[in-house]
Amino acid sequence: MELDTRVTGNTGKTEQRSQFWKRFKKQKTLHLFVGLGMIFLLVFAYTPMFGILMAFKQYSISTGIKGIFTSDWVGLKHFKEFVGDYQFGTIVRNTLALSLLKVFFAFPAPILLAILLSEVKDLKFKRFVQTISYLPHFISWVVVAGIAFAFLSTDVGMINKALLGLGLIDKPIDVLTNPSYFWGFATGSAVWKEMGWWTIIFLAAIAGINPSLYEAAQIDGAGRLARIRHITFPGMKGTIVVVLILTIGSILGGGLVGSNFEQAFLFGNSINNPTSEIVQTYAFKVGLRDGRFSYAAAIDLIQSVISVILIFSSNFIAKRSSGSSLF
């Protein structure tokens, strides 16, 4: 009996292996695509993580890649230096203020637009609005900077010229260089550029809601606002929670719109620097301009660790409070 059991067990394992390889051959094209994706992640996402060692060493670019491992170990020297930098308070304030403004305005904007579009019955108008709202997503921030200069510059800006010509203002509005305008301009332009793109995600969530729920609610006398409150919002809850977790996790980079560095680098200048200098641009400048790669790596590592903590924390809170989570 024992011998029969072993033989049966071995035969079962052989059949399982045979079925596995048969499925693998049938799905070889899919496995190829998955394999290419895994290779991409390995080469461009995981392999560069060895560079984290630079944050704890006195690295010099003249030593090449080998220097990452052979440079002198300095421990937390660069981290302490950044925290003690005279610009630390201003840089952290600018980063947090810009990020929180974008979360406050950019996160609800696509949700509201998705709900409004879902209530539109005219399909042609709906498609038109959807198209023009997500087209800015495909425009690079470099082009947006050029457009902003053409419209808002104090010298050649079309808007300033028009307002001066109509007598509505006495002198050009200095939007691009005045520190007081930077946060508002950066937030507004980011919402304009990315709102339509994220609306697609929330429209897909609304499309997955059973239409019979709306029909039943309408028969029971529920108005449009009541249907949105009791059917649309609950149906979107899972998607909203996942996007919110991702937004909080990337809050230091701009959250949902993720454009802090591009905006601060392209729109920042020596005049509006008190409000436009953020952690990312500071690390970029000291890393490439001053050649202090170890110091820049330490700054970026601090930001990455904070982002990871925020993701796990927000996911834990969302799971305990709403039952929906990213993982």
> DSSP for 46-60?
IGGGGGGGGGGB---
Q: What is the pLDDT of residue 242?
A: 86
How far apart CA 263 and CA 261 sit, in angstroms, is 6
Among residues 130, 133, 131, the alpha carbon closest in space to that of 120 is found at 130
Cβ-based burial of 267 (10 A; exposed 0-12, middle 13-18, buried ≥19): buried
Q: What are the DSSP calls for 180-210, one per residue?
A: HHHHHHHHHHHHHHHHHHHHHHHHHHHHTS-
User: Which parts of the chain have pLDDT scores under 50?
Assistant: 2-3, 7
Residues belonging to the chain: 327
Token representation of residue 49: 């993580």
How far apart CA 215 and CA 212 sit, in angstroms, is 5
Q: What is the pLDDT of residue 10?
A: 60
Token representation of residue 33: 């695509």
How far apart CA 210 and CA 111 sit, in angstroms, is 19
Average pLDDT, the chain: 86
How far apart CA 154 and CA 173 sit, in angstroms, is 7
Contacts (Cβ under 8 Å, ≥6 apart) of 115? 202, 206, 228, 232
Q: Is 73 helix (H, G, I), strand (E, B) or coil?
A: strand
Distance of CA 150 to the CA centre of its chain: 27
How far apart CA 68 and CA 57 sit, in angstroms, is 8
How far apart CA 284 and CA 271 sit, in angstroms, is 19
Confidence (pTM): 0.82
Q: What is the pLDDT of residue 9?
A: 53
Contact 257, 104 (CB under 8 A): no
Q: What is the pLDDT of residue 265?
A: 92
Q: What is the pLDDT of residue 3?
A: 46
